[in-house]
């Protein structure tokens, strides 16, 4: 059973790293879109983009290191604690990703009109709301697991 918990720990760590990398990509796209909307000059755009790459790279690295330690400690308490913690971290990362995607969705609606948004980019809009719903569901699920743990 201990081997299974260690396997889960590192599987969840890899999945957290993948979500962190996705957050990194979306944050970069967010900054690019905001700079385009503000009409930033090329030199400013380039400098801020490089800064965001460095800062978000360090943030993702920090998240992975923090979660590695946290997941190992939770695995010692049991697989249920580990799963609950992974769900909570994943939900928070998904909420951050959705937050970074919001201006892109708003800009998309502004560019092509809110009525026409349902035709070609419908998949993007649908995926946006699916990610938001999954993040909220995961947060509620982690809260429910916490309450179940308190009752037992």
**pLDDT, tens only, 112-135:** 444 444 445 666 677 778 888 888
Q: Please, what is the average pLDDT of the chain?
A: 82
Among 10-19, 40-49, 95-104, 143-152, name the most confident range: 10-19
**8 A C-beta contact, residue 80 and residue 148:** no
Region 54-79: mean pLDDT is 93
141 token code pair: 């699920």
Domain boundaries, given as residue ranges, for the chain? 2-151
The span from the CA of 25 to the CA of 118, in Å, is 25
Residue 8, SS3 per DSSP: helix
Q: 96 or 143: whose pLDDT is higher?
A: 96
More confident site: 137 or 15: 15
Asked if residues 117 and 108 have their Cβ atoms less than 8 Å apart, the reply is yes
CA distance 17 to 11: 10
Q: Which residue has the tokens 């037992």?
A: 152
pLDDT of residue 106: 60
Share of the chain above pLDDT 90, in %: 39
For residue 96, the number of C-alpha atoms closer than 13 Å in the C-beta half-sphere is 20
Rounded to whole angstroms, the Cα distance separating 118 from 13 reads 36
pLDDT at 70: 93
């Amino acid at each position: 059973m201990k081997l299974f918990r260690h396997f889960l720990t590192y599987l969840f760590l890899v999945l957290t790293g993948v979500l962190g990398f996705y957050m990194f990509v979306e944050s970069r796209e967010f900054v690019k879109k905001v700079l385009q909307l503000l009409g930033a000059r090329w030199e400013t755009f380039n400098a801020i983009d490089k800064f965001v790459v460095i800062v978000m790279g360090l943030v993702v690295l920090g998240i992975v290191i923090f979660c590695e330690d946290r997941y190992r400690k939770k695995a010692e308490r049991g697989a249920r604690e580990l799963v609950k913690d992974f769900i909570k971290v994943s939900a928070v990362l998904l909420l951050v990703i959705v937050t970074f995607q919001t201006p892109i969705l708003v800009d998309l609606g502004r560019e092509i009109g809110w009525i026409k948004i349902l035709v070609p980019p419908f998949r993007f809009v649908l995926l946006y709301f699916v990610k938001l719903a999954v993040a909220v569901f995961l947060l509620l699920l982690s809260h429910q697991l916490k309450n179940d743990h308190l009752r037992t």
